Structure 1
Amino acid sequence: MDFDGKRLIDLSVGLEPGVDSEPFPPEIAYMDHEAGADRLAENLRELGHDVHGDDFPDGQGLAWEEITAIPHAGTHLDAPWHYGPECEGDPARTVDEIPLEWCCGNAVVLDFTDLDAGAEITPEMIDARLDDLGHDLSAGELVFVETGADELWGEPEYLTEFPGMGAAATKHLVEQGVKVIGTDAYGFDKPFDEMGRRYVESGDEAELWPAHFAGREVEYCQIEKMANLDDLPRRTDVPVVTFPVKIEDASAGWVRPVAMVEA
């Protein structure tokens, strides 16, 4: 691929130990080069070779890390299996079964930064934003929901200060051929506290993770914890790649979405 004249924009956050924006933050054990020399030497001794860490040049081997993390930490793509065991009456796909064709193409960015935290995005709101852009969705396009919540990354407020998709809005996009929907917020639905409040107030189970559970009726993937959507120079026809890590039989995989735009 020729990247001449192209600017690559990273639309992700990374895996960070102890970050306040993750309820289940990754644990990362860092091994420096000296410890790496000792570990490699130990491996060689187990194979019957008398090698020690200080035998390596400058006593330094290879650095590496050991990570303990759920696949929903950092920017990640949720597969239909995350939403339920079946989708449209068939076994739901796991992340290693997601067609790569779903995960690349042109993206449309819909600006919902004007909404209050806890608000629910509706089909009418989506259509209004598309009208503002003068854009009709095409099958295979990706849609990214910009809330501005990524500016709070690293803070506890990241978990609560964002609007979320509703079930009807999710179905509305998927029924137009959209297979991947992303958000720069912590979650695709409204914040946990808002969903809990609505459920207790109404007793309606449809208030609990409605956008996620829409994926039991229509097949799609969602990307959570995106970032830097405001850095994109335009709102439509944004070439992106969003390939998730393959994890066998898993509900999600880490992903690093990248946009490729004119420099």
Structure 2
Amino acid sequence: MRIIDLSSPIDASFWEPDEVVHRVLDAHQAALHVRDEMKEHFGLDLDPDVFPDGAFLTNDYLTLTTHTGTHVDAPAHYGPAANGRTPRTIDQMPLDWFVRPGMVLDLREAGTGTVGVEYLEREFARVGRRPRPLDVVLLHTGADRHLGKPEYFTEFTGLDGPATRLLLGLGVRVIGTDAFSLDAPFTHIIREYHRTGDRDVLWPAHFAGRQEEYCQLERLANLQDLPTSTGFTVSCLPVKIAGAGAGWSRVVALIEK
């Protein structure tokens, strides 16, 4: 089996709207740390010199959002659900949504903004079929070429409301993108709203999840490495964070040789 990594990294050197802080406790610092921890919590004395070279085990401390790096958005992220339902958090989602056949749709020629139903229908024709229920649909926008730079958050293609609802109506429950968001860039959305006064341009892909439960798979990478538009399995199991609206994921494509 060939495994293709479709994930972008969490990297504190990247430009992010919400800063990522990554602090490393090296092995010698960790020896002193475990000494203090054992004393404080368990009343035990431990001399750091007992470890080989006075070094214990390294540790990493991260401050970041659940929407940093490749991640899965749960319905709870989209706000209050219709009909008084309580939207599910990431730890409550069914695991069988996240290991499923994949389909790639090519949006690279669309430019910054959104695409609609007509664009998706052309892609279905190119691929040779429509998505099947529970297929993981991946949108190849090419936005990952800007990964780590401010342009990653302002120059990409998203879905409009009707296009999102089309996929949901076909039974798709996980929609992925190599862009920052399944919606258009924040800057584009706000400018369009001020230009038109139309509230339907405000985050329609996310808000569609209030009506129909689904998950977004955001900030993918390397979709150009997939040899075909179908015929592979996507594994995108999210980290089980209790009560969270999203969870990080190491997304891969599995291709039988």
Q: Same fold (TM over 0.5)?
A: yes
Aligned to 1:239: 233
Counterparts of 1:220-235 in structure 2, within 5 Å, are 220-235=214-229
TM-score, normalising length from structure 1? Answer: 0.93
Shift of 1:49: 3.0
Deviation at 1:221?
0.4
- Map 1:1-263; keep pairs closer than 5 Å: 6-20=1-15, 22-46=16-40, 47-87=42-82, 89-118=84-113, 120-262=114-256
Deviates more, 1:41-50 or 1:58-67: 41-50
- Runs of 5+ consecutive residues of structure 1 not aligned to the other structure: 1-5
CA distance in 1, matches of 2:19, 2:105: 29
For structure 2, the 5+ residue unaligned runs are none
Contact preservation (8 Å) 1:32, 1:64? yes
On the 8 A contact 1:18/1:25 being kept in 2, the answer is no
**Matched AA of 1:179:** R
Q: Quote the offset at 1:18 in angstroms.
A: 4.0
Matched residue type, 1:213: F
Deviation at 1:136, TM superposition (A): 2.6
Structure 1 residues 100-109 or 199-208, which shifts more? 199-208
Alignment deviations for residues 186-227 of structure 1 (CA, whole Å, 9 cap, x no partner):
111001111010011111221111111111111110011000
Please say which of residues 208-217 and 49-58 is displaced more in the overlay.
49-58
**Stretches of 4+ aligned residues off by more than 3 angstroms:** none
**Two-structure CA RMSD over aligned residues (Å):** 1.3
What is the CA-CA distance between 1:53 and the residue it aligns to?
A: 2.1
Deviations 1:89-143 (A, max 9, x none): 521111111100111110000001111122x111111111010111132111110
Distance in 2, matches of 1:148 and 1:232, equals 13
Q: May I ask how many residue pairs the two structures share in their alignment?
A: 256
**DSSP-derived class of the 1:212 partner:** helix
Letter in 1 for 2:99: C
- Of all paired residues, the percent bearing the same amino acid is 42
Question: Does the 8 Å contact 2:112/2:156 carry over to 1?
Answer: yes
Secondary structure of the residue that 2:4 maps to in structure 1? strand
- Note the C-alpha offset of 1:72: 0.7
Q: Secondary structure at the match of 1:24?
A: coil
In the TM superposition, residue 237 of structure 1 has moved relative to its aligned partner by: 2.3
Matched residue SS, 2:130:
coil
- Partners of 2:140 and 2:149 lie apart in 1 by 18
